[in-house]
Amino acid sequence: MHVKQIVGNVSDLIYHLCNDPACKIEVPERLTVSHEALVRTGLAARCVSIAVREATDEEILLVHSEEYLEAVKKTPYMTLEDLMAFTQQYGDVYFHPNIYHCAKLAVGATLQLVDSVMTGRVRNGIALVRPPGHHSQKSAASGFCIFNNVAIGARYAMVLIVDWDVHHGQGVQYCFEDDPNVLYFSWHRYEHQNFWPNLRESDYDSVGKEKGAGFNINVPWNKVGMENSDYLAVFFHVLLPVAYEFCPDLVLVSAGFDSAIGDPEGKMCATPDIFAHLTHLLMNLAGGKLCAVLEGGYNLTSLAQSVCQTVQTLLGDPAPLPADLGGPCESVLKSIHCVRSAHKQYWSCLKYTGTTSPCLLMIVSFISQ
């Protein structure tokens, strides 16, 4: 359909700017349902709201190139034809005329939260923002992401970034792969490189480069349907031991909830209450300085429930008993073993990797109930 046939409907506009039905899932309702659920459950009333602001050019340039920023700045003034042409340079993303403004607010909101946590004004928090950030790169938009909110937020000395979104945040990896001050952990649907963004460097053996070797941890999900016990097993046997050894000053979470059950992108089976446990486990790091920043999550029901579970835990409520805890599946045990082996030379907590048997992993997971 030609752009001139577009009527004022935002979803239609998104569809045409993107040329891909997949883009129809990154919709404004993702924020409204999450916020409404927080209000309905009384969680919003227990939170301190922090005023949002636009990020400055200097802040955006901490991660992005001047050429890219200047190009994005022109998008509000482009014709729809030009916007479509601009969009087509990148993968799985669309440029709405308002997106530069929204992307500046998403970065600014992330920075307001990080500043509030680092100065002790609040203990922790979540930034509910659109567009998300973790796929965007120095000079490129990607996967609904314009500016890399979390990467820009990682300006402090020793930062742990936990990316529990179901996609690999390759943009974050590229930003910090040679930086030993930022430990980036991402688990992601991979299926032996058959899932987007289909990158060789999303596999477990991309451990970081030069001084940053050992500070990039990728855990590939090589099948769909991962459950709560698979997520917990990766936390217990990969992320947490390394995170404690790293000892961060701040924890940033690329909080994508497309890793929850019912999501059309993730196709995983972990229930929303697992995010209460993941949040709780991370709150013991960095003196509890934790900032979660929304990334993906396209099933509006499990998205809103998962946001509530995360916020409830940040507020100090006890986590519910995780549903359906069995043991981790064979595929996850293999991934855990590969990741630990790839990183054993960098972390003393992984030194004895190779002796870990699947039985031990199952027992530990069982005890965690």
**Helix, strand, coil % in the chain, rounded to nearest 5:** 45, 10, 45
Where helices occur in the chain by DSSP H, the ranges are: 10-18, 29-40, 57-60, 66-73, 80-87, 99-118, 149-153, 170-176, 228-234, 240-246, 274-282, 300-314, 330-343, 358-367
Is 26 a binder of Zn ion (CB under 5 A)? no
Number of chain residues interacting with Zn ion (CB under 5 A): 5
Is 177 a binder of Zn ion (CB under 5 A)? no
Q: Which residue is nearest to Zn ion (CB)?
A: 296
Is 163 a binder of Zn ion (CB under 5 A)? no
How many CB atoms within 10 Å of residue 119?
Answer: 8
Of residues 271 and 353, the one with the C-beta less far from Zn ion: 271
Pick the stretch among 81-89, 167-175, 284-292, 350-358 that binds Zn ion (CB under 5 A).
167-175
Q: Residues 245, 349: contact at Cβ < 8 Å?
A: yes
Pick the stretch among 37-45, 101-109, 224-232, 251-259 that binds Zn ion (CB under 5 A).
251-259
Per the annotation, the verdict on 135 as an active-site residue is: yes
When binding is defined by CB under 5 A, the residue of 125, 153, 212, 256 that contacts Zn ion is: 256
When binding is defined by CB under 5 A, the residue of 133, 197, 272, 296 that contacts Zn ion is: 296
Q: Is 136 exposed, middle or buried (0-12, 13-18, 19+ CB in 10 A)?
A: buried
Annotated catalytic residue within 96, 134, 135, 343:
135
Pick the stretch among 24-32, 216-224, 250-258, 353-361 that binds Zn ion (CB under 5 A).
250-258
Residues 6+ apart with CB under 8 A from 333: 233, 358, 361
Q: How far is the CB of 186 from Zn ion (least distance, A)?
A: 10
When binding is defined by CB under 5 A, the residue of 59, 92, 165, 230 that contacts Zn ion is: 165
* Torsion angle of C-alpha atoms 204, 212, 59, 156, degrees rounded to 10: 110
Q: How far is the CB of 2 from Zn ion (least distance, A)?
A: 31
Tell me the catalytic residues: 135
Which residue ranges make up the site for Zn ion (CB under 5 A)?
165, 167, 256, 258, 296
